[in-house]
Structure 1
């Protein structure tokens, strides 16, 4: 067996690196685009199964929730096998989920087939693809991430009218089959994800071995087995305050952001917009978001402003856009709202994986993304039903969007509580490192082990001071 070659640091591009970006771009088109465009089926499901708005919303909320909540599982599988293998498996599972949905006779059937099975498949494609970008890029991470995640905007632009067309032409059952075939193309994207081995990976594994004392080695077989099971999930990340604070802020942002993708089309129809133009509102937002993600991913790498502050600007604008939606009582007004919503969404989305990498380190980015997405998952589970219940109580969607704005504003306040600042300090002469100082946790990227100094004797990803 050929010996694995360990790169000194992420190559910041190269043919393989940019092919990973291309694969991740198309994964965002079909995975995130489909999840965020699935609200087009919402009105159809509600009419066919004669259920309340809150109950029907659970289909999309379970789909989005499972997509994120199973991310630690996807990260663990990626650590045990490879991101490429996990992504290909996700393409198969998501397609099977929608094929099974063809036979649905009850809403409960769709909760399982669309929400759980398809959501799991989407999850297995989503977080490992972002982790691969974090492993191939360092200084140009935000730029590469911005290019990849703008695929979401393309998906939101193209898929809602496509879904509505498929429903009109083939019915919702036939539409689900065709969308399943679309998701199966995730297997092709997974084939582009060639694994890369970094020196920090080798250092991390060595640190784990050195950390085992004589007493640890004498533990019972059951405890040792449990430790081996939990190790790929990187549960120790949850002990670090800055990482948890960011994840809580992300939960509140997603809680507000999840509402629009399920209830915007229904809100537009409620104020008198026809079905097809109402679905096209998500497409308009997708166009704006795609351009914004590409532009702001590049701008955030120019280092004119801290990436954390850049992120805050985006989510603040998102909250303001949610407030404006109920006042857009005409189609033109809603179009304007969607342009601004997409623009501000495009500011902070390219930085999600960048900030996770900032707080977890490159060698643990799969686990970091997994746990960060768990927090977002809880938001996707709660957001749409809460908005649906507000509609049931008020008879309109105005308070749903006001609630979304409140949640997102709260996420900014939580992020301000994070003691991690944008100041940087050196670890000492000769190290050449400028780590981020985060609540007693030093986050390093690709720092080689140096057994001749005290610095290299600890885990290069986290060191508690």
Structure 2
């Protein structure tokens, strides 16, 4: 952009209409009052919306253990077959992450979360008429998982985009919705099951998930700070939003310049800017026809990350974590009933995970923002501790002692959920958070789909849950070692 001088530094907009510059100025003025600032302002509204979206998603997903006890009685199937329903839901919720990111990139976070809430609600309505476990695989598991997946990733990415200095704290508060949802929904599910039966309970789940439509519409992304430059100062036919160094390239970016290019015929309409800037974290060029799904999927499954040894180890570590992650949520209530505890005591065990989960997300999120704290070391510590307490949990057989395990487990898992997205940004860059976040969820989904069925199969074979929990503890320990290896590799090889 020859001749721009200081106007081409920092961030700016160049008008393409040389004969109607006032329209560009008016377009720029129309953006005033919309979202620019990070680490505050509207970002806290996004945090609040993400909190309640997490409340709905994880509250319903991780109360399946309470519902499982009733489904075992209703359909009289073995545990390995019945627990697959919940595993499909949580697995698909994560597996759909990359696609959710791609669609959010095209249509915006708001519409994708809205559609996800509708899909999950329809799935639960259909589930209330189920006549078999196989029926519930499709309605409760597949449709519910797709809907939750479309809600989960866009909300999480939106929070990361709005915060920099207080990112861990904001993410910790946002994901607290999960812990609160686990606590509330397990007790609420038990109450609904006692009064309305499992069919009425699932129908009420549909109404709860539908509330995500209103929350999704509030997930507005941050906009770049903009300055309007008279087109007569710059010899360029396009609109540029430039970040960082000055560029000497008229139509494409130079190797050392980061820029985002918007459609040359677009006005500075707020909706256009919001929908297109929502997940543009990978230095993308937009043409007049916009991006195809194929191009967006190519960005989400970034070749830069998939050829990075540290990132592959990070994915493998998370795969190992999620082989064990859902075991307590889905199987702990049934284990408690098998050990002679009441159904209400069993629901309290899962609720206890939610209570300590919530507390740890806030505390560890605040602690992770301290300059003296190494977030990756924190992540390793909580994973190792989760493995130790899970492996030793079979030694606790009464309700009073058993309650210790979910409380400690909730603290460790709360730290994991809070720290993992932040560590992704630290290790592999915020400009690639959509890609790394999506692939992280995909790896988690692969493991989550098979973890609980394997645990149920072990029980059907041994008639005892002890081996299942010991194996889950070992998986956490293996994951901790893989996280350490990922950190070492990443320090020596940065993503380029």
Smaller-chain TM-score bracket: 0.7 to 0.9
Q: Give the C-alpha shift of residue 259 in structure 1.
A: 0.7
Contact 1:12 1:136 in 2 (8 A): yes
Distance 1:226 1:347 in 2: 34
Pair 1:134 & 2:160 matched: yes
Where do 1:55-204 residues align within 5 Å?
55-198=81-224
Post-superposition Cα deviations, 1:322-377, rounded to whole Å, max 9, x if no partner, equal: 12321110000111111111122222221111122224432332222111001100
* Matched position secondary structure for 2:42: helix
Post-superposition Cα deviations, 1:71-116, rounded to whole Å, max 9, x if no partner, equal: 0000001111211111111111111110011111111110001111
* CA 143–225 in structure 1, closer or farther in 2 if over 3 Å, else same: closer
Pair 1:47 & 2:73 matched: yes
Pair 1:306 & 2:374 matched: yes
* Matched position secondary structure for 1:418: helix
Post-superposition Cα deviations, 1:247-267, rounded to whole Å, max 9, x if no partner, equal: 111111111111111100000
Residue of structure 1 in register with 2:493 after alignment: 440
Pair 1:235 & 2:288 matched: no
Distance 1:134 1:229 in 2: 19
CA RMSD, aligned part only? 2.6
Alignment equivalent of 2:483, drawn from 415, 419, 425:
415
* CA 60–226 in structure 1, closer or farther in 2 if over 3 Å, else same: closer
Post-superposition Cα deviations, 1:97-152, rounded to whole Å, max 9, x if no partner, equal: 10011111111110001111010100111111110011000111100011111111
Moved more, 35-44 or 67-76: 35-44
Contact 1:29 1:155 in 2 (8 A): yes
Where do 1:316-335 residues align within 5 Å?
316-335=384-403
Residue of structure 1 in register with 2:345 after alignment: 277
* CA 226–328 in structure 1, closer or farther in 2 if over 3 Å, else same: closer
* CA 327–20 in structure 1, closer or farther in 2 if over 3 Å, else same: same
Contact 1:248 1:414 in 2 (8 A): yes
- Structure 1 gaps of 5+ residues are 213-223, 422-436, 442-461
Distance 1:68 1:149 in 2: 15
Alignment equivalent of 1:245, drawn from 295, 308, 313:
313
TM-score (normalizing by structure 2): 0.79
* CA 408–170 in structure 1, closer or farther in 2 if over 3 Å, else same: same
Contact 2:376 2:487 in 1 (8 A): no
Contact 1:241 1:439 in 2 (8 A): no
Contact 1:80 1:232 in 2 (8 A): no
* Matched position secondary structure for 2:486: coil
Q: How many residues align?
A: 415
Q: Give the C-alpha shift of residue 227 in structure 1.
A: 5.6
Q: Give the C-alpha shift of residue 246 in structure 1.
A: 1.0
* CA 10–372 in structure 1, closer or farther in 2 if over 3 Å, else same: farther
Contact 1:75 1:233 in 2 (8 A): yes
- Structure 2 gaps of 5+ residues are 1-23, 227-239, 256-290
Where do 1:330-341 residues align within 5 Å?
330-341=398-409
Distance 1:72 1:322 in 2: 30
Distance 1:13 1:23 in 2: 16
* Matched position secondary structure for 2:169: helix
Q: Give the C-alpha shift of residue 402 in structure 1.
A: 0.5
Contact 2:36 2:223 in 1 (8 A): no
Distance 2:384 2:224 in 1: 36
Distance 1:179 1:155 in 2: 13
Distance 1:263 1:209 in 2: 55
* Matched position secondary structure for 1:160: helix
TM-score (normalizing by structure 1): 0.84
* Matched position secondary structure for 2:83: helix
Contact 1:102 1:176 in 2 (8 A): yes
Pair 1:379 & 2:431 matched: no
* CA 231–256 in structure 1, closer or farther in 2 if over 3 Å, else same: same
* CA 10–326 in structure 1, closer or farther in 2 if over 3 Å, else same: farther
Distance 2:313 2:363 in 1: 27
In our comparison, the structure showing a higher alpha carbon Rg is 2
* Matched position secondary structure for 1:417: helix
Residue of structure 1 in register with 2:363 after alignment: 295
Distance 2:37 2:492 in 1: 29
Where do 1:349-360 residues align within 5 Å?
349-360=417-428
Contact 2:105 2:296 in 1 (8 A): no
